[in-house]
Amino acid sequence: MFDYSVFTKEIEEAKQKGLFINIRTLESPQGAWLTIDGRKVLNLCSNNYLGFANEERLKQAAIKAIEKWGVGPGAVRTIAGTMAIHVELEKTLAAFKKVEDVLFLQSGFLANQAVIPAITDERDAILSDELNHASIIDGVRLSKAKRYIWKHRDIEDLARALEQATKEGARRKLIITDGVFSMDGDIAPLKEIVELAERYDALVMVDDAHGEGVLGESGRGIVDHFNLHGKVDIEIGTLSKAFGVVGGYVAGRKELIDYLRQKARPFMFSTPLSPADTAACLEAVKMLMESDERVRRLWDNANYFKSKMKELGFDVGESQTPITPVMLYDATVASKFSQRLFEEGIFAQSIGYPLVPHGKARIRVMISAVHTKQDLDFAIEKFEKIGREFGIIK
Ligand code: PMP
């Protein structure tokens, strides 16, 4: 008989170290406030940057799509055919991102898994920032290409790695970086990366999961932020964060997307998202194209929260975006801090290893456009109270 206590033991160890992930059950939709255990708590955890997750227009679009298309796509698109609603989303996203074509996939995670092994093999080199998201790391693992991990946002180290890959005779060189790093909120030096890539004839792939809806004109993302249209070969996106729904995509040149439709395994072997999801995503993109009001509100909120937290003496890292890491370093402290916040009416999870390196535990605060100034003041007041209790601020 298999001894299942090995799993229980590991969970107990994680609990001792403050690394156990307590998954809360929500009794309400995503929004500024949530109901958990029958209590209203302020939500500082979700990636629902723009408040689209429970937006009426998106809900109505999803309901209409169910009436028109039913609930399931039938099978993978290469076999059962592709519904016009999926194609319409891809075309609209391509216009929004100012690229030639888009491939819609089931998640941002799968988009990374789809592209990386489809375009590289043992003859190639992948150059990946050391703090890239887990889905990039796993995507790289699925490829037989040689890996070169470069120091976080360090252009000189990337140049060194490109030099080495060139000397070792790599056929293709694929540079991969997160656009906005999800745990620290810092932004990749994409302009410099693109310049280096041109020099070494490398491909550039950027994961824009936390950049879209946040950076650039009307939240078009990191490529728009740096005005690098046409210079970044592959953009990975998610529809689960600022767009408020679920799904992922790859954006780029027509030749690349045509190739991925024939070669990317999550596209060829897994059924796409439902018509309801797809229609809600489409409505979110349309709403962003109509107005950037939510994006502006998001930045106002984030700037207000961050400046107040800094004034209080909290270490909020080097974030350049609404992601606000409240650095506590010790995982047990972070876990207890999060628990105290919850008792005071705030849902803000602690984040420890393996999501961040050992010794870099934090409460990651995710600000949203739907937070009111009152909500933010409530959060600041509670952080101040508990920060003093814990001796983290004076
Ligand atoms: N890339 C990055 C940088 C992310 O932060 C995430 C979400 N945690 C993903 C990809 C995965 O996106 P999704 O949730 O759509 O799978």
- Taking residues 60-80, report their average pLDDT: 96
ipTM comes to 0.98
Tally helices (H) and strands (E) across the chain. Answer: 15, 13
Whether 210 is catalytic is yes
Percent of the chain clearing pLDDT 90 (strictly above): 97
Residues 82 and 202 in one domain: yes
Residue 39, domain CATH: 3.90.1150.10
Residue 102's pLDDT band, with cuts at 50, 70 and 90, is: very high
* pLDDT on residue 374: 98
Closest to 109 in 3D by CA, of 137, 88, 79, 135: 135
Total structural domains in the chain? Answer: 2
Closest to 226 in 3D by CA, of 201, 189, 252, 195: 189
Residue 392's pLDDT band, with cuts at 50, 70 and 90, is: very high
* pLDDT on residue 177: 98
| Residue 91 reports pLDDT greater than 90 | yes
Which residue type sits at 329?
Answer: Y
Q: DSSP per residue over 176-190, as a string?
A: EEESB-TTT--B--H
Residues 41 and 60 in one domain: no
Of 232, 263, 290, the residue that ends a domain is 290
- Taking residues 334-349, report their average pLDDT: 96
| Residue 21 reports pLDDT greater than 90 | no
Whether 241 is catalytic is yes
Of 225, 257, 290, the residue that ends a domain is 290
Q: Calculate the CA dihedral of residues 203, 209, 211, 217 and round it to 10 degrees.
A: 90
Of 263, 290, 317, the residue that ends a domain is 290
For ligand 1, atom 4, name the residue with the nearest CA. Answer: 209
Neighbours of 51 (CB within 10 A): 20
Cα separation, 91 vs 307, whole angstroms: 39
Residues 140 and 235 in one domain: yes
182, 338, 350, 368: which is the annotated catalytic residue?
Answer: 182
Full residue range of the structural domain in which residue 239 is found: 56-290
Cα separation, 219 vs 290, whole angstroms: 11
- Classify the C-alpha dihedral 206-207-210-211 as positive or negative: positive
SS3 28: coil
**Token pair in block for residue 67:** 């009436």
The finding on whether 351 has its CB within 6 A of some atom of ligand 1 is no
* pLDDT on residue 20: 87
| Residue 346 reports pLDDT greater than 90 | yes
Residue 232, domain CATH: 3.40.640.10
Mutate to test the pocket of ligand 1, among 110, 129, 205, 238 (most ligand atoms within 8 A of CB): 238
Residue 22's pLDDT band, with cuts at 50, 70 and 90, is: confident
Mutate to test the pocket of ligand 1, among 104, 133, 138 (most ligand atoms within 8 A of CB): 133
Residues 371 and 307 in one domain: yes
* pLDDT on residue 17: 86
Neighbours of 163 (CB within 10 A): 11
For ligand 1, atom 5, name the residue with the nearest CA. Answer: 182
Residues 92 and 42 in one domain: no
| Residue 334 reports pLDDT greater than 90 | yes
The b-or-e profile of 343-372 (16+ CB within 10 A means b, else e) is: ebebbbbbbbeebbeeebbbbbbbbbbbbe
- Taking residues 348-353, report their average pLDDT: 93
Residues 46 and 187 in one domain: no
Q: For residues 18 and 352, is the Cβ–Cβ distance under 8 A? A: yes
Residues 64 and 173 in one domain: yes
The predicted model scores a pTM of: 0.96
The finding on whether 108 has its CB within 6 A of some atom of ligand 1 is yes
Q: For residues 76 and 94, is the Cβ–Cβ distance under 8 A? A: no
Which residue type sits at 48?
Answer: N
Closest to 187 in 3D by CA, of 222, 160, 217, 220: 222
Residues 152 and 276 in one domain: yes
What is the per-residue pLDDT across 141-166, written as a single tens digit (0 to 9) for each? 999 999 999 999 999 999 999 999 99
* pLDDT on residue 117: 98
Residue 209's pLDDT band, with cuts at 50, 70 and 90, is: very high
* pLDDT on residue 238: 98
Cα separation, 287 vs 351, whole angstroms: 32
* pLDDT on residue 78: 94
The finding on whether 266 has its CB within 6 A of some atom of ligand 1 is no
Percent of the chain clearing pLDDT 70 (strictly above): 100
- The angle subtended at Cα 382 by Cα 381 and Cα 388, nearest 5°, is 95
C-alpha separations of 90 from 202, 247, 278, 318 in Å: 26, 12, 10, 34
| Residue 77 reports pLDDT greater than 90 | yes
* pLDDT on residue 19: 84
- Which position has the higher pLDDT, 394 or 270? 270
Residues 251 and 148 in one domain: yes
Mutate to test the pocket of ligand 1, among 47, 135, 243 (most ligand atoms within 8 A of CB): 135
* pLDDT on residue 222: 98
Residues 212 and 285 in one domain: yes
Residues 160 and 225 in one domain: yes
pLDDT averaged over every residue in the chain: 97
